[in-house]
Amino acid sequence: MTTTLRNPVLALAVALAFPAAGAFAQAAAPLADWPRIASPIAKDAALEKRVAEIVSKMTLAQKVGQMTQPEIKTATPEDVKRYYLGSVLNGGGSWPNGNKHAKAAEWLALAQRYHEASLSTDMAIKVPVIWGTDAVHGHNNVFGATLFPHNIGLGAARNPKLLEEIGAATAKATRASGIAWVFGPTLAVVRDDRWGRTYESYSENPDVVKSYAGAYVRGMQGMLKDDANTVATAKHFIGDGGTENGKDRGVNKSTKSQMINIHGVGYYPALAAGVQTVMSSFNSWNDVSTGTDYGKMHGSRAMLTDVLKTKMGFDGFVVTDWNGIGEVPGCRNDSCAQAINAGNDMIMVPDDWKAFIANTIKQVESGEIPMSRIDDAVTRIIRVKLRAGLFDKSPAQNAYAGKDEAMQPRELARRAVRESLVLIKNDKPVLPIARGKKILVVGKTADDLSNQTGGWSITWQGTANVNADFPNGDTILAGIREAAGSNNVSFSLDAKGVDVSKFDVVVAVIGERPYAEGDGDIGPNGTLRHSGRHPEDLAVLQAVAGKGKPVVTVFVSGRPLYVNDLLNLSDVFVAAWLPGTEGKGVSDLLVAGPKRYEFTGKLPFSWPKSACQTELNVGDKNYAPLFAYGHGLKTTTLSKVGKLDATYPAGGCGISNTFPVFSQADRASFPLTIRSGEQQLVLGADLNSTFSLPGVTVQTSQVNTQQDAKLVTWSGPATIEARGARAMVLPAAAGKDAALRFDTIVSNAPAGKVTMAMGGGTLDATGLFKNLAGKGKQVVRIPLSCFQAKGTDLAKVEAPFSVTSNAAFAAAFANIEIAGGAASEAGAVKCEELK
């Protein structure tokens, strides 16, 4: 090793030494290769000896059990004991005893039972279990916990010190519930804001992610010596924020230099702060510039072993993502020698863990997985458990165990909210609003903690929550009422029938509704235009604007969106991101209180000027955003945004000729409805609900990935259809040779007659579905010409997907779309088969 500054280890050490105390790291010269990182939690000879001793006394079943992480819904403490399970996780929206309102003590009791079970096995040396959870904006699965702004809002703060404090507070909250491992921070550098996980990213600018990653890990893990420390996870390795079209689990086509210098930069400071676990990512990496296809990251030995462990020197363990192994070609959720050989150590197999254990043991016995790989994985897991003190103290012995107060860092969160707000338009001097002024508050998000907290909040997608699910939170409306005085504030959800002239100022709180992975993606045919998905927000602003009273809009969203129509109706516009439970952090900046606060937030993501302006990132050639990365006004500076062009392309951005009807990403465009006789029911967004009418029941199921499908079970005459508010606009070119395409698993053949209808034409699909029964997943393509031959008018398709059965029949449907060209794909249905 040389000692010049060209040495990447030293260069990095120097770079890391500087961003101390709130300073913001300067962009460093690009790295040519993956750097070697020295962890402050260095190898300790005595500890390593102890690990070796434990591993040497373990049987194969004990080792494979140690590598297995089921979900708490599927594995009891008794299972932990019997199968030597090394870990459990609670997925998003999974709570002890299925109790959404479980308090710290109930979580702790279950954690303690798992722990005790792991110490009562027949292993020569017992190894405590470790429980992992997605505490990604505070301890967000837990009732009563304080939820911080999602990462995108923290990115606006440009304050590494704040991140360190939030890491520490989240670790303490997690310990209160008996849990010692957090699946965060997310270090994605999101480059296409259509990705539904954009809000989990601090910034499109790698420098921000770099300046936060180490600070957060330091806050959360410390040196793992304190009761307030938990094990952290850097995720998702690697390239999750760079997939094509922002598609969840998609393909990242970066060059090696982009992977190292954009998507990888969060990992170096995280490792340098001692992060003990890294989560593999769902995405693939195909470096098209050199023709190097690394494939799915879960199966990539090159990345997990050669880069992360060998080159970068990571000595903690790699955990897979939720059924991530099942996405590696040739693998299943319960079997994937390739993923283990690639370097994954702990396998997240929420459901199929028993089969996984049996299959993995066989793969070791047959030599498909070398014993040395298993020993390495188990060594890494036990090393981290020893470092984290899990052998020394039970969950109940932690100083914060069972303490609900330890989960409520409310003042810190309120400050974080203040620092996260970005004033993007300030054309009139309205803020702060003086106490005593009459304020009209409008909009669906003013009094809605579910919209305010977003995805990963008590539930996975953040849906199906009401204000009472956040007993220690304040809505933005509650904050305004307190700051301005209740009798000065009136609230109307939609402003209908309200006389605006009676007020001094209007505050509209609007924005996106909660979503998380998959569901939150804006598909390739969607646009960035917010009002297309949320016409209610445009309507409420139209109801209050132009009435001679200033309008302040607070826009609550997981990403920047095309909102020129909304900006035109607002004098002042605040990007509030997803602030979490502390609505008073918002009102602190809106209403003048005894203490005067000013906006300090700066845009962490570039704000688009038009409906199809994506990708849009600082540093782009021809960079022309509406509001640039870093933009952020003070109330004392007036802007001159004026009137903006609010037009948008009618048929979407025209990126492809596929028109989504129903998929995880496009649920909103053609909502699913069931009909039975005169009755009709629109299926809500709640993935856990069962929807029923006489003759038909619909439940969420899986055809490709988790919860991507609807299983429809008929017992009598009824219809399921995807019906939009407006007819589908199909450009002529797409209609030619287009087909209705969908994925299906037919579990029960039709006992009667099944028809499919579209725009006036009806086809007999009884034979089609009979043939598909019992064959597992099938892709169906029905040429639109078959419908047209039966009278379908393609200009009048309000329900592009409609299936009616008059008797028992069961099938799951997913990925429903009108696909240009699909009529000539292999396997397309012939019209004769539909008579």
Q: How far is CA 760 from CA 211, 514, 800, in A?
A: 58, 35, 10
* Least CB distance to ligand BGC at residue 800 (A): 26
* Least CB distance to ligand BGC at residue 331 (A): 16
Distance between CA atoms of 204 and 349, rounded to whole angstroms? 31
* Cβ count within 10 A of residue 666: 23
Nearer to ligand BGC, 81 or 249 (CB): 249
* Cβ count within 10 A of residue 329: 9
DSSP code, position 737: T
Q: Which residue is nearest to ligand BGC (CB)?
A: 91
* Least CB distance to ligand BGC at residue 501 (A): 48
Cα dihedral 559, 560, 566, 567 sign: positive
Q: E-assigned strands of 557-664? A: 572-575, 658-662
- Helices (H), ranges, 128-205: 151-157, 160-176
Which candidate in 321, 327, 512, 519 is catalytic? Answer: 321
Nearer to ligand BGC, 238 or 552 (CB): 238
Nearer to ligand BGC, 321 or 737 (CB): 321
Q: Which of 431, 699, 449, 674 is nearest to 571 (CA)?
A: 431
* Least CB distance to ligand BGC at residue 94 (A): 6
Q: Which of 765, 59, 814, 134 is nearest to 460 (CA)?
A: 134
Q: Enumerate binding residues for ligand BGC (CB under 6 A).
A: 91-94, 134, 183, 235, 321-322, 460, 517, 706-707
Q: How far is CA 331 from CA 60, 65, 298, 376, in A?
A: 22, 19, 11, 22
β-strands 691-693, 696-701: how paired? Answer: antiparallel
Is residue 116 annotated as a catalytic residue, yes or no? no
Contact 488, 477 (CB under 8 A): no
* Least CB distance to ligand BGC at residue 286 (A): 20
Nearer to ligand BGC, 128 or 196 (CB): 196
Nearer to ligand BGC, 423 or 698 (CB): 698
Report DSSP letters for 805-829, one per residue.
ESS-EEEEEEEEEEETTGGGSTTPP
* Least CB distance to ligand BGC at residue 692 (A): 22
β-strands 277-280, 233-237: how paired? Answer: parallel
- Helices (H), ranges, 320-370: 337-342, 353-365
β-strands 718-722, 672-676: how paired? Answer: antiparallel
- Helices 160-176 and 206-221, axial angle in degrees (round to 10): 40
Distance between CA atoms of 481 and 476, rounded to whole angstroms? 9
Is residue 321 annotated as a catalytic residue, yes or no? yes
Residue type, 74: T
Q: Judge residue 505's burial from the number of C-beta atoms within 10 Å of its C-beta, 0-12 exposed, 13-18 middle, 19 or more buried.
A: buried
Nearer to ligand BGC, 84 or 183 (CB): 183
Residue type, 86: G
Six token digits for residue 412: 């810190």
Nearer to ligand BGC, 193 or 321 (CB): 321
Nearer to ligand BGC, 460 or 605 (CB): 460
Q: Per DSSP, what are the bridge partners of residue 721?
A: 673, 802
**Helical (H) or strand (E) element with 477:** helix 476-484
* Least CB distance to ligand BGC at residue 200 (A): 8
Residue type, 507: V
Nearer to ligand BGC, 93 or 800 (CB): 93
* Least CB distance to ligand BGC at residue 546 (A): 44
Contact 407, 177 (CB under 8 A): yes
Distance between CA atoms of 452 and 478, rounded to whole angstroms? 13
Cα Rg, the chain, nearest whole Å: 27
Contact 799, 756 (CB under 8 A): no
Six token digits for residue 138: 């505070």
Report DSSP letters for 659-714, one per residue.
EEEESSTTTTTS-EEEEETTEEEE--S-TT--EEETTEEEEEE-SSSTT-EEEEEE
Q: In what order do the strands lie in the sheet with 439-442?
A: 422-426, 572-575, 551-556, 505-511, 439-442, 489-492
* Least CB distance to ligand BGC at residue 707 (A): 6
Nearer to ligand BGC, 321 or 447 (CB): 321
Q: How far is CA 701 from CA 427, 429, 458, 708, in A?
A: 49, 52, 21, 7
Nearer to ligand BGC, 188 or 508 (CB): 188
- State the distance between the two ends of the chain, measured CA to CA, in whole angstroms: 76
* Least CB distance to ligand BGC at residue 248 (A): 9
Nearer to ligand BGC, 280 or 766 (CB): 280
* Least CB distance to ligand BGC at residue 249 (A): 9
DSSP code, position 619: T
* Least CB distance to ligand BGC at residue 190 (A): 14
Residue type, 165: E
Which candidate in 193, 207, 240, 517 is catalytic? Answer: 517
* Least CB distance to ligand BGC at residue 80 (A): 18
Nearer to ligand BGC, 92 or 443 (CB): 92
Q: Active-site positions?
A: 321, 517
